[in-house]
Amino acid sequence: MVTLEDVSRLQVVSGKGGTGKTTVAAALALALATAGKRTLLVEVEGRQGIAQLFETQALPYEERKIAVASGGGEVYALAIDPELALLDYLQMFYKLGGAGRALKKLGAIDFATTIAPGLRDVLLTGKACEAVRRKDKNGRFVYDYVVMDAPPTGRVTRFLNVNDEVAGLARIGPIHNQAQAVMRVLKSPETAVHLVTLLEEMPVQETADGIAELRAAKLPVGRVIVNMVRPEVLDEGGLELVRTVSRSSVARSLSAAGLGGARRGGHAERLVDPLLQQAEEYAERYALEHEQRAVLGELDLPLHELPLLAEGMDLAGLYQLANELRKQGIA
Ligand SMILES: Nc1ncnc2c1ncn2[C@@H]1O[C@H](COP(=O)(O)OP(=O)(O)O)[C@@H](O)[C@H]1O
Ligand SMILES: [Mg+2]
């Protein structure tokens, strides 16, 4: 089934800090870059997380190709520098050129980008939307998809909505029109805001709150992506067995498996307690995770799960996560 959201050309990735926003945004950009498609991955917090993930040098304020996806699509990346974006913006409206450089010397740009954080967000979202709408000389979109590694859940609604405020402040003229054009993209099915979470109480709660905020602001909520999911090694039956099994029968089984004597002080007997303790810890985690899965289920949104890569993240791992997203039909 193809829904409107499947074709969203601007995919915004948010989530509680540390849940894997940058990683998931990068995997999503790779996943969307199927045969012949071109994706732009945009970083707005200037931490060079994308460059690190793709094992490449720091990104300049310039769109450059950083990966070829399996299947031949291309991923471009851009770390938006708010100062340079401001010069772009001034250039667009006022044809400033040299005057812009003079402004920079005067520190006016520092003022505008650090003192007025709202303006900073106007520039960042504006730049991303410009990339979404940009066409080549044949009238085709330059990027099939733009994926944004966005601010964390607590700030993302305000961040995306900032142009609404601007449109309200500047009631007519080019800035008003630009702000409205940005909001038209952000509030349309052309955009989807995804939230990354872990199967833990805090990030799940933040996800639920974030979704409520996004909805209240009429921003299009996309999907929930549960990251770093650990494999389930025991099912309900196995857990029940762990709860009821006797120490001595575990010791006998270990002994029968060739792990030594099952009597008091025997090798197998000494393995029982650590083993049962691990099982207990697992059972606890299982219960907590299932609780959080139930909370996520109530959100009534498509859920995706990405595995915890036990060896840590590297480029191969990133491709693996991208593949997983494709298999789950997100791209
Ligand atoms: N699926 C995963 N498996 C293993 N490690 C992961 C996974 N996703 C993210 N990580 C690691 O977790 C850390 C936080 O991820 P990152 O994408 O930087 O989070 P955020 O952008 O939300 O702060 C990084 O060290 C990253 O390599
Ligand atoms: Mg990040």
Which tokens sit at 235? 């099912």
Q: Cα-Cα-Cα-Cα dihedral of 248, 253, 259, 261, to 10°?
A: 40
Q: Which helix (H) or strand (E) holds 161?
A: helix 153-169
Is 128 within 8 Å of 44 (Cβ atoms)? yes
Query: DSSP H helical segments within 246-314, as ranges?
Result: 247-256, 267-297
From the CB of 21, is ligand 1 less than 6 Å away?
Answer: yes
Q: What share of the chain is helix, strand, coil (3-state, %, to 5)?
A: 55, 15, 30
CATH architecture entry for 4-230+308-327? 3-Layer(aba) Sandwich (3.40)
Q: Is 127 helix (H, G, I), strand (E, B) or coil?
A: helix
Asked whether 153 lines ligand 1 (CB < 6 A), one says: no
* Residue pLDDT, tens place only, 180-227: 999 999 999 999 999 999 999 999 999 999 999 999 999 999 999 999
**Residue 182 CA: distances (Å) to CA of 80, 163, 224:** 16, 7, 24
What ligand is nearest to the CA atom of residue 43? Answer: 2
- Using alpha carbons only, how large is the chain's radius of gyration in Å? 25
User: Six-digit token pair at 270?
Assistant: 């000494």
pLDDT at 2: 42
Give the residue, by CA position, lying nearest to ligand 1 atom 24: 20
To test the ligand 1 pocket, which listed residue (313, 315, 319) has its Cβ within 8 A of the most ligand atoms? 313
What is the total residue count of the chain? 331
Which stretches does DSSP call E strand in the chain?
10-15, 38-43, 64-68, 74-79, 145-149, 191-197, 221-229, 303-307
What DSSP string describes 24-84?
Answer: HHHHHHHHH--TT-EEEEEE-S-S-HHHHHTT-PPP-SS-EEEEE-TTS-EEEEEE--HHH
State the chain's mean pLDDT as an integer: 88
Cross-strand bridge partners of residue 77 = 41, 64
State the angle between helix axes of 82-94 and 98-106 in degrees (0 to 180), rounded to the nearest 10: 140
Which atom belonging to ligand 1 lies closest to the Cα atom of 16? 22
pLDDT under 50: residue ranges of the chain: 1-5
Is 28:147 a contact under the CB 8 Å cutoff? yes
Residue pLDDT, tens place only, 4-32: 445 699 999 999 999 999 999 999 999 99
Report the nearest atom of ligand 1 relative to the CA of 308.
3
Ligand 1 atom nearest to 26, measured from its CA: 17
**Beta carbon of 255 within 6 Å of any ligand 1 atom:** no
Q: Are 41 and 149 spatial neighbours (Cβ–Cβ below 8 Å)? A: yes
Q: Does ligand 1 lie within 6 Å of residue 306's CB atom? A: yes
Cα separation of 219 and 5, whole Å?
12
CA distance 182 to 161: 9
**Closest C-alpha to 124, from 26, 10, 5:** 10
Q: What is the structure's pLDDT at 165?
A: 82
For ligand 1, atom 6: residue with the closest CA: 313
Please state the atom number of ligand 1 nearest to the C-alpha of residue 149: 21
Ligand 1 pocket test: which of 13, 19, 23 has the largest number of ligand atoms within 8 Å of its C-beta?
23
Q: Which residue ranges make up each domain of the chain?
A: 4-230+308-327, 236-285
**Cβ(85)–Cβ(119) under 8 Å?**
no
